[in-house]
A and B are shown apart, each in its own frame.
Chain A
Amino acid sequence: MNDPSEINAFYKDAFQELGNIGAGNAATALSQMVGRTIGTSVPKVMIIPIEKVPEVVDANEQIVAGIYLKVYGDIPAKILVTFEHADLLALTDLLMGQPMGGGTSLLNEMRISALKELGTILTGSFLNALAKFLDLQMIPTVPALAIDTMPSILNTLLVELSQDARFALLIQTEIFETETRLTGNIFLIPEADALDTMIKAIQKAAGVIDAG
């Protein structure tokens, strides 16, 4: 199968759980990093024609920082971590252990590096949990950062996918800092080739088929 539109409710549910497991671990990681409580939302599993993705996810052209990593290994995928533009300074204050809103108005090189590292750590811990749960290996590239509108960022990621599939599977989970509601999103977008492997791994993890 390389068309997500054939995915049934059982697996949609399982994908939601994957989002949960991944984001849960990512939230724990972030919480350790900044020493604050980090919550996660119920993941959204979206299976939509690629052309419709930007308007379904965000039709408001919100400006975000998008940290994009490709994932290689058993489940080739794209991971996108986004944070609202308005939150970036406060978020980097938090990462750098400085008072939030401490007056800096510049996203300097160190802050940009901190953002990328945040993307790497969230992605790493997200994938670690998934890999353990599915008994598979998933290795990310180094992160790339863009500050732009959400639809433009998604557009760029989806164009590549659109050579191989008509539908996209997106697992979106919100993570937020409970005190000041700094909010980010983690999107896992498996490549068309990855679906079969994911489904088999889910079957195995859930004991649906014999592991041998």
Chain B
Amino acid sequence: MPDKIKVGMADWKIARNQDSLVTFGLGSCVALTLWDAKEKIAAMAHIMLPDSKLVRYRQEVNAAKFADTALITMLAELNKLGVSKDRFQAKVVGGANMFTFVGKAIGGNMNIGQRNVLAVKEELLRYTIPLVSEDTCGTSGRSVEFYADSGVLRIRTAMFGERDI
């Protein structure tokens, strides 16, 4: 039986072969996935905020919570397992802006969802990891499942059903 490994908010996990990674309730949060096609290794982070430097508390926090700390942490850990970053391809999902009123997004010109997406893409550029597909922004929340054997990322929304990227 393949395992469905749950990735909570601000968390990240690895899956191999037949197993998959799932995370649900991506509103303005972003799921970043990495996949090594040769070794059938998948990783997924559930990122909440664009910038770790903007938070007001300084306690132990999950690196996967922030766009600017998630990728570097994932790459370092995966490197320890002998996976080279050069084989990874990335997908990015989420960053919705679910609440709008009278044509105006809550939170000004650029909402948190949009900022999350941009920050994650910036990190991918920095580490030269190719972004092969994305399903970002919009107004719908998303739940995703990422399959380690195929690299398929299945996206589910409340109103529009399922689609794979």
Do A and B share a direct contact in the complex (Cβ within 8 angstroms)?
Answer: yes
Could you list which residues of chain A lie within 8 angstroms of chain B, going by C-beta atoms? 2-3, 50-52, 54-55, 61, 63, 66, 68, 70, 85, 141-160, 162-166, 192
CA distance A144 to B27 in the complex (A): 15
B25 in contact with A155 (CB, 8 Å): yes
B96 contacts A by Cβ under 8 Å: yes
CA distance A100 to B24 in the complex (A): 33
Set of chain B residues within 8 Å of A162, measured between Cβ atoms: 10, 48-49, 55, 65
Could you list which residues of chain B lie within 8 angstroms of chain A, going by C-beta atoms? 8-11, 24-29, 48-49, 54-57, 59, 61-62, 65, 96, 98-102, 106-107, 112-113, 139-143, 157-159
Which listed residue, A148, A150, A152, A163, touches B55 by the CB 8 Å rule? A163
CA distance A192 to B55 in the complex (A): 12
CA distance A159 to B83 in the complex (A): 31
Number of A-B contacts (CB under 8 A): 117
A149 in contact with B24 (CB, 8 Å): yes
Across the interface, name the chain A residue whose C-beta is closest to B64. A51
Across the interface, name the chain B residue whose C-beta is closest to A148. B141
Set of chain B residues within 8 Å of A160, measured between Cβ atoms: 107, 112
Interface centre among B24, B96, B141 (most CB of A within 10 A): B141
Given contacts A155-B141, A159-B112, contact A61 B8 (CB under 8 A): no
A164 in contact with B106 (CB, 8 Å): no
Nearest CB of B to A82, in Å: 13
Nearest CB of B to A47, in Å: 16
Set of chain A residues within 8 Å of B11, measured between Cβ atoms: 51
Please classify the interface of chain B as helix (H, G, I), strand (E, B), loop, or mixed, using the class held by over half of its residues. loop
Nearest CB of A to B114, in Å: 12
Given contacts A50-B9, A149-B25, A156-B96, contact A166 B158 (CB under 8 A): no
Interface centre among B8, B9, B139, B157 (most CB of A within 10 A): B9
Nearest CB of B to A75, in Å: 18
Nearest CB of A to B161, in Å: 12
16 more A-B residue pairs beyond the given contacts A52-B8, A61-B25, A144-B99, with a C-beta to C-beta distance below 8 A: A55-B8, A61-B143, A144-B101, A145-B99, A148-B159, A149-B158, A151-B141, A152-B26, A152-B158, A153-B27, A153-B141, A155-B27, A156-B98, A157-B27, A162-B49, A163-B56
Set of chain B residues within 8 Å of A63, measured between Cβ atoms: 158
Set of chain A residues within 8 Å of B56, measured between Cβ atoms: 2, 163-165, 192
Given contacts A50-B9, A144-B106, A147-B158, contact A163 B98 (CB under 8 A): no
Set of chain A residues within 8 Å of B107, measured between Cβ atoms: 160
CA distance A127 to B157 in the complex (A): 33
Nearest CB of B to A37, in Å: 31
Set of chain B residues within 8 Å of A165, measured between Cβ atoms: 56-57
B141 in contact with A51 (CB, 8 Å): no
CA distance A15 to B110 in the complex (A): 34
